[in-house]
Amino acid sequence: MKWVTWEQVGVDRMACAWLITKYLDPQAEFLFVPVGSAPLPEGAEPFDLPGARLSHHRGHCTFYTMLREYDLHDPILQHIARIIDEADTVQEVLLEPAAAGLDLICRGLRQISQNDLMALERGRLIYDALYAQLQAEAASAGKEERE
**Which residues are at the interface with other proteins (CB under 8 A)?**
8, 50-51, 55-59, 89-90, 92
The strand ranges marked E within 36-131 are 44-46
Helix axes 62-69, 75-88, angle to 10 degrees: 150
Q: What is the DSSP code (8-state) at residue 23?
A: I
In the complex with other proteins, the residue whose CB is nearer, 115 or 140, is: 115
Least distance from other proteins to the Cβ atom of residue 59, Å: 6
In the complex with other proteins, the residue whose CB is nearer, 6 or 30, is: 6
Which candidate, 5, 119, 97, 99, places its Cα nearest to that of 56? 5
In the complex with other proteins, the residue whose CB is nearer, 94 or 141, is: 94
Q: Which residues contact 42 (CB under 8 A, 6 or more apart)?
A: none
In the complex with other proteins, the residue whose CB is nearer, 10 or 147, is: 10
Least distance from other proteins to the Cβ atom of residue 144, Å: 25
Least distance from other proteins to the Cβ atom of residue 90, Å: 5
Least distance from other proteins to the Cβ atom of residue 88, Å: 8
Burial 95-113 (b: 16+ CB within 10 A, else e): ebebbeebbeebeebbeeb
